[in-house]
Chains A and B, each alone.
Chain A
């Protein structure tokens, strides 16, 4: 079906120096009807590999390609993307940037109109495609009014309109919240299992797809040879993996469990040996005066109330996580804390002083706020300049070494002279963080900081947050990433319909909810464990005491 034979590819450069190839002598084989998961760090060439399949690389990107590549018996380079569009459907990362038409039906019909499908056949094809992705109810809706998950389903439908036999998806869920991601992944599983479509998927969220995947291909990056095989084999060989897999590897469980259900058969022995060792509750430090406090906040857009009666306090050295469904008002709460949205009632105090009457700029000197899309912040020519601009905006003079220290802290010291938009997603986010932290605020608000980050970037971010906790900063983190919250948060707030409905330690709040339960919590429902470290620490202690 798809064969890579000694494929090497380099992106075009304007310098004469030889560049490191993104893909180096790649040998791979994909079978028809298989569901293949492509994993690896950012920049490892996942996107390049996927774009080779339909000829976008090198037709769109340029560059040099050597070796032999066959897709459905065709050479995508000779066949051109136009012909390949009948064999390979392609779905991109950003649900916003791939639509041509205004409404769902027209979007699906677009490729068919281009291919001059007769009107009658087109009508039938659109109907079939709508049913395939369960979109019939949305057919007349403008795409702009759809949720992220619905949009990606429309994008899949649009890609399948020409009836390709291969569906290729480049991180289709990285911009989505877990519910929407789930919706998209389930649609993929159905397309593969019920309709025999060959699916090639690049994805960070392993835990949801692993049980359905036939094969995992790991691209290590830097031209290294890929590791390809069944999910169990590949996961055993690489460091990546959901908490369940990491725990299983640490405890030597065999065969490697991929679902909580499979894991439950291993956990019994551990739970049994710990039955009479109740775990002491986590110690919560209290008593310090809060750095930031909100009382009875109320926000309304027109007649619609977005927030009502929200009370909130952030103590120094505390990481508070804010969880909730889409549209629960989480982002609005963050914005209202820095006066980006008008607060109808209630008050926000920082260091005990009210923020009423202060401008956004004056508030943001004390409270850093990282919006969802860090790209909106960046416009300067160099990373260093981004930091200096913020200082200039606030009328501050760059104190000696402040900029350098911050850049070193964020691991950007060697990128100080780079153009920010050329950096990777994780690096760009750290530049945005640097740009808002250069005024040394005591409070940091983060809106979904792990969106689109790969495993390594996430680990780096977690290390930063832990460091700032040591420095005594107060942090509020809006996130859908339950595992991150489980590993970091001192306190969890649950939000629904504009109200905070629960406020407590993560060990209590990250267990029962079907949406916000950590994998480890589901594996050990009668303990207070949330992370792999929790389990390993307790298992170690349990064994010692048993001896």
Chain B
């Protein structure tokens, strides 16, 4: 039984949809909706996963409020545009001098909202996906890369522990860190130790049949395709940034991604490696993926009947009520799909007393 409730690809598509959603709009209504769905997903994930949810080291809510406050203040102090003046700072203050407007304050807060959404989204994905699941997302064509990343993940805590040991060992020899040069007795054993560790690991991997040179065959067409795909995606982004959104940029983005995925998939097929227990792709993963695609399509591409002008919101020179297109608002519901998918799996059952194993076996058999 795997501890994953949803396929990592589903989660990543969800994350991508949020990234696209919050970066294409400054409309507080859409942002508010997205944040609401995000919060719902986070709460559900915590409830359903319980202990398996890795809590972020800092509370995203506390961080987010700090961020909203600071971006609002920063914007208000720097941008002195707007009709609703709250107070007037003396003009001799460099940068800050001038009227402090409600418009600037609000627009700053909106940017803070975007940052909060990003923080929450990464918090959720970090919480639900362990590192190994993310490593598993590295395309099969880059198997050696995946192995190196996996080693790095296990190497880091070992190195930290070793540094602590060395620090202690040098302290008992009367070593005191006073300046840059004093780091030498700590770094040298760490580096030589790390090198010895690397050699031992290389030997161990060789003893278990790992040989990278025999594995990968990067054919020329694959490499050209990967390059083309990347150029397409980057070009699309560039066009989108420099000019107004056009069909050209969309075409480049979509086409480039397609070529890239096809190239990697093709190269992965020629890889002589298999994967242990690939995460299963189930119905609920389709749900999440489709929700994410809905948001991406509606927010990025011209869809008939969807008024994408309302995504654009600008409070200067004077505050206006943001426009709201119902189809777009409905589309944001796509981000709520993980809640549905997680609830489909059910809330964690309380640990039932297990006097004998038979009944569960029978249930299993009936399934």
How far does the alpha carbon of A364 sit from the alpha carbon of B172 in the complex, in Å? 6
How far does the alpha carbon of A116 sit from the alpha carbon of B175 in the complex, in Å? 51
- Interface positions, chain A 107-136, Cβ under 8 Å from B, are 109-119, 122-123, 126
B278 touches A119 (CB 8 A): yes
- Closest chain B residue to A367, Cβ basis: B172
Partner of B185, one of A112, A359, A379: A379
A137 interfacial by beta-carbon distance below 8 Å: no
- Please, which residues of chain B bring their CB within 8 A of the CB of A340? 168, 171-172
- Interface positions, chain B 119-140, Cβ under 8 Å from A, are 131-132
Partner of B206, one of A59, A89, A96: A59
Stretch in A7-15, A80-88, A194-202, A316-324 touching the partner:
A80-88
Interface digits, A392-429 against B, CB 8 Å rule (1 contact, 0 not)?
A: 01100000000000000000000000000100000000
Stretch in A284-292, A368-376, A458-466, A521-529 touching the partner:
A368-376
- Please, which residues of chain B bring their CB within 8 A of the CB of A94? 200
B173 touches A389 (CB 8 A): yes
Interface digits, B315-339 against A, CB 8 Å rule (1 contact, 0 not)?
A: 0000000000000000000000000
A373 touches B165 (CB 8 A): yes
- Please, which residues of chain A bring their CB within 8 A of the CB of B274? 112-113, 116-119, 122
Chain B nearest CB from A51 CB (Å) reads 8
- Please, which residues of chain A bring their CB within 8 A of the CB of B238? none
- Closest chain A residue to B192, Cβ basis: A421
Stretch in A98-106, A217-225, A232-240, A494-502 touching the partner:
A98-106
- Please, which residues of chain A bring their CB within 8 A of the CB of B210? 82, 100, 110-111, 114
B172 touches A119 (CB 8 A): no
Chain B nearest CB from A110 CB (Å) reads 7
A371 touches B165 (CB 8 A): yes
B170 interfacial by beta-carbon distance below 8 Å: yes
- Closest chain B residue to A392, Cβ basis: B174
A144 interfacial by beta-carbon distance below 8 Å: yes
- Please, which residues of chain B bring their CB within 8 A of the CB of A390? 173-174
* Given A100-B147, A369-B172, CB of A162 within 8 Å of CB of B207: no
How far does the alpha carbon of A369 sit from the alpha carbon of B173 in the complex, in Å? 9
A453 interfacial by beta-carbon distance below 8 Å: no
* Given A113-B273, A123-B276, A361-B176, CB of A98 within 8 Å of CB of B165: no
A101 touches B172 (CB 8 A): no
Tell me which of A100, A116, A389 has the highest count of chain B C-beta atoms within 10 A of its own C-beta. Answer: A100
The total number of A-B Cβ pairs within 8 Å is: 168
- Interface positions, chain B 165-221, Cβ under 8 Å from A, are 165-166, 168-176, 184-185, 188-189, 192-193, 196-197, 200-211, 214
- Closest chain B residue to A369, Cβ basis: B172
B3 interfacial by beta-carbon distance below 8 Å: yes
B200 touches A116 (CB 8 A): no
* Given A81-B206, A112-B274, CB of A376 within 8 Å of CB of B169: yes
Total number of B residues with any Cβ neighbor in A under 8 Å:
50
How far does the alpha carbon of A82 sit from the alpha carbon of B272 in the complex, in Å? 14
B62 interfacial by beta-carbon distance below 8 Å: no
B224 interfacial by beta-carbon distance below 8 Å: no
A436 interfacial by beta-carbon distance below 8 Å: yes
B145 interfacial by beta-carbon distance below 8 Å: no
How far does the alpha carbon of A436 sit from the alpha carbon of B170 in the complex, in Å? 10
How far does the alpha carbon of A327 sit from the alpha carbon of B3 in the complex, in Å? 30
* Given A54-B207, A113-B275, CB of A102 within 8 Å of CB of B132: yes
A102 touches B272 (CB 8 A): no
B193 touches A375 (CB 8 A): yes
B360 interfacial by beta-carbon distance below 8 Å: no
* Given A335-B168, A379-B185, CB of A85 within 8 Å of CB of B173: no
A158 interfacial by beta-carbon distance below 8 Å: yes
A92 interfacial by beta-carbon distance below 8 Å: yes
* Given A81-B206, A106-B276, A119-B275, CB of A98 within 8 Å of CB of B173: no
Chain A nearest CB from B203 CB (Å) reads 6
- Please, which residues of chain B bring their CB within 8 A of the CB of A421? 192
* Given A97-B201, A379-B192, CB of A393 within 8 Å of CB of B132: no
A473 interfacial by beta-carbon distance below 8 Å: no
Partner of A109, one of B166, B185, B205, B276: B276
- Please, which residues of chain B bring their CB within 8 A of the CB of A115? 209
- Please, which residues of chain A bring their CB within 8 A of the CB of B174? 361, 364-365, 390, 393-394, 439
- Please, which residues of chain A bring their CB within 8 A of the CB of B131? 102
A227 interfacial by beta-carbon distance below 8 Å: no
A377 touches B272 (CB 8 A): no
Stretch in B36-44, B110-118, B154-162, B296-304 touching the partner:
B154-162
Chain A nearest CB from B59 CB (Å) reads 20
B340 interfacial by beta-carbon distance below 8 Å: no
A86 touches B209 (CB 8 A): yes
- Please, which residues of chain A bring their CB within 8 A of the CB of B275? 113, 119
- Please, which residues of chain A bring their CB within 8 A of the CB of B185? 379, 389
B209 touches A100 (CB 8 A): no
B203 touches A60 (CB 8 A): yes
Chain B nearest CB from A169 CB (Å) reads 12
A378 interfacial by beta-carbon distance below 8 Å: yes
- Please, which residues of chain B bring their CB within 8 A of the CB of A354? none
A159 interfacial by beta-carbon distance below 8 Å: yes
B276 touches A112 (CB 8 A): yes
B204 touches A371 (CB 8 A): no
A114 touches B206 (CB 8 A): no
* Given A109-B276, A126-B276, A364-B174, CB of A102 within 8 Å of CB of B154: yes
B205 touches A393 (CB 8 A): no
B341 interfacial by beta-carbon distance below 8 Å: no
- Please, which residues of chain B bring their CB within 8 A of the CB of A60? 202-203, 206
B261 interfacial by beta-carbon distance below 8 Å: no
Please name 22 pairs of A and B residues whose Cβ atoms are closer than 8 Å in the assembled complex, sorted by A: A56-B203, A81-B209, A90-B208, A92-B204, A94-B200, A97-B204, A101-B150, A114-B210, A116-B274, A117-B274, A119-B277, A162-B208, A360-B171, A361-B175, A371-B165, A376-B168, A377-B173, A378-B189, A389-B173, A393-B173, A394-B174, A435-B173
Q: A101-B154, A361-B174 are in contact. List 16 more A-B contacts (CB 8 A).
A: A54-B207, A56-B207, A81-B209, A82-B209, A99-B154, A105-B277, A106-B132, A144-B157, A159-B207, A161-B208, A340-B168, A360-B171, A368-B172, A377-B173, A379-B192, A421-B192
Considering the complex of A and B, which 8 residue pairs feature the smallest CB-CB distances, nearest first?
A109-B276, A85-B209, A393-B174, A98-B204, A376-B169, A97-B200, A361-B174, A90-B207
